[in-house]
Amino acid sequence: MQRVWLQVALAALAGLGSLAICCGAFVAIVALLLSEGELVIIPLYLRTQAVYWVGFVTAVLLAGAGLSLPVLALGARWEDALLKAAVLSTLVLGAFVFFFLLSLDSSYGFMAGAISLMALVGTSVVGSLVAVQEEEGHSVAVRLGRMTVIVAVAIYGASLVAYSLFWLVPGQHLPFFVATYVVAASSWPVLPAIAVVLRSG
């Protein structure tokens, strides 16, 4: 039992580590994008096309490496973690970045934020589902996949409620906005940990 809880803790820490790395990559990408506009974050002497693309590609590769951590913690093979989980999760994370930036513009309304939350939760779902495929028994893989999706939908629903309050309650924008993405981001450590618990029987 102690070994199981150690594996649960490691899976949750891998999810948190992945989230931290991707947050850093997200900040770097946003800084690169904003450096092309009026909000100059990068000094003028560094704002060249070569530096821009090298920084962008480096941030994406760093995010991809971070996204493979939970899958590796769940026991997936390196090729599955890098080729399947990292690539697919990076695409979903890219959708999150795109719709999150759109959600900052009120003209795009409620839907952009709701889709960004779905992509944020979906990024962690992809990694867990890739690890679930490693299960030898088909019935075990189906059960783990079903529970992963159920928990992810529950977390997304909770974040959507918080996001609705952000839109509906006047004068409380920042607390509800932060709570919305904190709830959605909780799926990153929670889903790998739940996968470990379910695999242990």
Q: Work out the angle at residue 71's Cα, subtended by the Cα atoms of residues 142 and 13, and round it to the nearest 5 degrees.
A: 115
**In the predicted structure, residue 8 carries a pLDDT above the cut 80:** yes
pLDDT tens for each residue of 53-81: 777 788 888 888 888 888 887 777 766 55
This prediction has a pTM of: 0.82
pLDDT tens for each residue of 86-136: 788 888 988 998 898 888 877 777 899 999 999 999 998 887 787 777 655
How buried is 169 (Cβ within 10 angstroms: 0-12 exposed, 13-18 middle, 19+ buried)? exposed
Q: Which two tokens stand for residue 106?
A: 């009120």
Evaluate the CA torsion angle 90, 94, 97, 99 in order and state its sign: negative
How many CB atoms neighbour CB 116 within 10 A? 25
